Structure 1
């Protein structure tokens, strides 16, 4: 068994961890304990692509209370993630399209976030990787017109995409340290 320190992750690292330690690592990808338990139960795994896809499937199958628990860990779009941990770092990178955005767009995002939270009762979530602030705002405005059931389906899909990207980043840490 390789010498693995929690936090070193990578596929080999995850495979070497006990269930509780693996769950802690996986919580950085999706802050739902139900997700982390389900993903840790897939270990050991020898196929990173299968683990990434399975992680997305697990998120899509979460109950709404579990989704809301995961949403609570996400900062508002346009707001800087607090903290110095892995999740905060990933969130800042994912939302990098808001860096240097026009003040008007950022103000509209802030106002839209408030309207969204008032309407749906949780943070607006979008897989922001590769999107400009304007694109995030356009999606927010469109989603404000959705009914609750439709929006819940969109939120689950966005959370699944974010989780897949983060699991892939966690697994890529093997290559970074090699």
Structure 2
């Protein structure tokens, strides 16, 4: 059991059995290596400890792990059907014009052709125009540079999702 001073949502997460905790973390990030690193470090005393463990795990991911994590993300402008997290995170594209959506589709395809994976950005709070401008800018990056940007963006997404997991757990 976790300490009574641990926030309730985090305590609940800490107390999940391993398969449940694995599933919750895997919904946060599709990288099995990332999930395993966070599982082994449980229990967490504070949310800050959880976020630090996430950041450390993200820094250690090799290319194959990053590819596995990216495979869990749909292209910008096309959230996963039935996935509220995906729809919530891509809300900035929901009201985009047909022209912007078409341009984003073209840019996504060009990006994927160049880098071999979806364009990944922490889209929470971003507008469709900001996402378009980011893909336009980043498509010119060298693959090594883009991989590190993707790692940073995944880290941001993971922190947001972990915070939501712990907050939702607190309300459960």
TM above 0.5, yes or no, is yes
- Partner-residue secondary structure (3-state), 2:19: helix
Whole-Å separation in 2 of the counterparts to 1:28 and 1:67? 15
Whole-Å separation in 2 of the counterparts to 1:143 and 1:68? 17
TM-score, with structure 2 as normaliser? 0.91
Whole-Å separation in 1 of the counterparts to 2:55 and 2:84? 21
Given that 2:119 and 2:135 are in contact with CA atoms closer than 8 Å, whether structure 1 keeps it comes out as yes
- Partner-residue secondary structure (3-state), 1:28: helix
- Partner-residue secondary structure (3-state), 2:28: coil
1:166 is matched with 161
2:31 pairs with 1:36: no
Report the CA distance between 1:20 and its aligned residue. 3.1
Whole-Å separation in 2 of the counterparts to 1:100 and 1:21? 35
Whole-Å separation in 2 of the counterparts to 1:136 and 1:130? 10
Report the CA distance between 1:176 and its aligned residue. 2.3
2:76 is matched with 77
Report the CA distance between 1:12 and its aligned residue. 1.8
- Runs of 5+ in structure 2 lacking a partner? 3-7
Which digits, 9 at most, give the CA deviation of each residue in 1:57-113, with x for residues without a partner?
Answer: 211221110110111110100003123xxxx21111010000111111111100000
Whole-Å separation in 2 of the counterparts to 1:102 and 1:111? 14
Whole-Å separation in 2 of the counterparts to 1:34 and 1:80? 24
Given that 1:94 and 1:130 are in contact with CA atoms closer than 8 Å, whether structure 2 keeps it comes out as yes
TM-score, with structure 1 as normaliser? 0.88
Number of aligned residue pairs: give it.
167
Report the CA distance between 1:49 and its aligned residue. 1.7
2:116 is matched with 121
1:17 is matched with 16
Whole-Å separation in 1 of the counterparts to 2:71 and 2:128? 21
Whole-Å separation in 2 of the counterparts to 1:72 and 1:130? 22
Whole-Å separation in 2 of the counterparts to 1:42 and 1:10? 17
